[in-house]
């Protein structure tokens, strides 16, 4: 059984990926300092899979503590999610984002080299493309200027990995550029659980619908799009999770053509913010209280993926629609609200 380290394993995408990895026969170890996550997600993972996953509560910016994890285990691969990820927060706290996101990655790579871990999957983002006018976006689309410090850390992280693998030929890396993860596991036992106020659209929609927020703000209706609101490529989190498993298998089966490859992960279609709201209302039968506000700093007008590369090389094809995203997210929102009531 291959052993995989998942950094940020208590986080949203990390937890769903752990479930997918376990379902495909991997032994998983997590590291997460829980500054933006909740260790209780491991209870949900155990209930879904029947497996108790070990989590090291370690800040990856601490090299010595990170080294101890690698000294205690023998990993066949690393999936590196751990990072600060709020676009808006990064605009006002740039140094915190550069310090955390880049130093944690550098420490992971130093340990991968020292302890001879050959396979690395890096959690990147479509934000690396900036405010591109080339749609749909392919892996060859040139980077534009980053719209926020978070996006810049992802651009820099990719460059670090490209330079690192260029001189460490025995280490293979895949850079996965996510578009907009959303939704929850079908069990409703795990889902997006923001510790700080949610900024991603789908949890803001569900929190508004259930009454945790008085109103949702649509940030701008004057973009050059079909209804004036931003266009995004929403991908179900379990489809996204499976891409990580397939990426590891791809490297472990030596199918890669170079030791650093890039894949877009999206469904290949754009949905506007207003269309996403309409989909939620249609699927759940719940009307949403929302208003139109000003544009939000750091947002790009439109971006969606060309995912042919991932389909052809990884054999990955997303299967869940925007309706399934909204339905599963709503089930998760109701589940966690009921759980909170019971605890109170």
Query: Hey, which residues are catalytic here?
Result: 150
SS3 category, 79? strand
How far is residue 259's CA from residue 272's CA, in Å, rounded to a whole number? 36
Instruction: Indicate if the alpha-carbon torsion angle 145, 151, 152, 157 is positive or negative.
Output: negative
Do the bridges between strand 231-232 and strand 271-272 make them parallel or antiparallel, or are there none, so unpaired?
Answer: antiparallel
State the chain's maximal CA–CA distance in angstroms.
55
Exposure of 338 by Cβ count < 10 A (0-12 exposed, 13-18 middle, 19+ buried)? exposed
Supply 161's token pair: 């990995």
Q: What DSSP line would sit under 251-320, residue for residue?
A: HHTT--SSSEEEEEES-S--EEHHHHHHHHHHHH-----EEEEPPPTT--SB--B--HHIIIII------
Supply 41's token pair: 């997600």
How far is residue 31's CA from residue 53's CA, in Å, rounded to a whole number? 10
């Amino acid at each position: 059984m291959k052993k995989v380290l998942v950094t940020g394993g208590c986080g949203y995408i990390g937890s769903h990926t752990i479930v997918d990895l376990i379902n495909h026969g991997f032994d998983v170890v997590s590291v997460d300092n829980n500054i933006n996550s909740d260790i209780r997600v491991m209870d949900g993972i155990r209930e879904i899979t029947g497996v108790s996953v070990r989590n090291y509560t370690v800040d990856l910016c601490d090299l010595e503590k990170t080294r101890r994890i690698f000294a205690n285990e023998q990993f066949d691969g690393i999936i590196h999610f751990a990072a600060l990820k709020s676009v808006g927060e990064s605009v006002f706290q740039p140094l915190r984002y550069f310090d955390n996101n880049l130093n944690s990655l550098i420490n992971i790579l130093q340990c991968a080299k020292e302890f001879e871990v050959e396979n690395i999957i890096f959690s990147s983002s479509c934000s690396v493309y900036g405010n591109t006018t080339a749609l749909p976006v392919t892996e060859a689309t040139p980077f534009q200027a980053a719209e926020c410090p978070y996006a810049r850390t992802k651009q820099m992280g990719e460059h670090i990995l490209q330079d690192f693998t260029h001189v460490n030929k025995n280490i293979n890396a895949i850079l996965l550029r996510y578009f907009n993860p959303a939704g929850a596991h079908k069990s409703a036992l795990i889902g997006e659980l923001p510790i700080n106020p949610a900024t991603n659209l789908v949890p803001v929609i569900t929190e508004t619908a259930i009454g945790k927020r008085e109103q949702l703000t649509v940030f701008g209706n004057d973009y050059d799009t079909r209804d004036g609101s931003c266009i995004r490529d929403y991908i179900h989190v379990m489809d996204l999770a499976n891409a990580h498993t397939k990426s590891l298998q791809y490297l472990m089966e030596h199918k890669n053509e170079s030791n650093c490859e890039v894949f877009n992960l999206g469904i290949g279609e754009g949905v506007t913010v207003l269309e996403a709201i309409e989909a939620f209302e249609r699927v759940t039968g719940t009307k949403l209280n929302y208003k139109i506000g000003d544009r939000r700093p750091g947002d790009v007008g439109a971006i969606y993926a060309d995912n042919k590369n991932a389909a052809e090389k990884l054999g990955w094809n997303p299967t869940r629609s925007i309706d399934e995203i909204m339905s599963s997210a709503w089930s998760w929102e109701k589940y966690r609200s009921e759980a909170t009531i019971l605890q109170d």
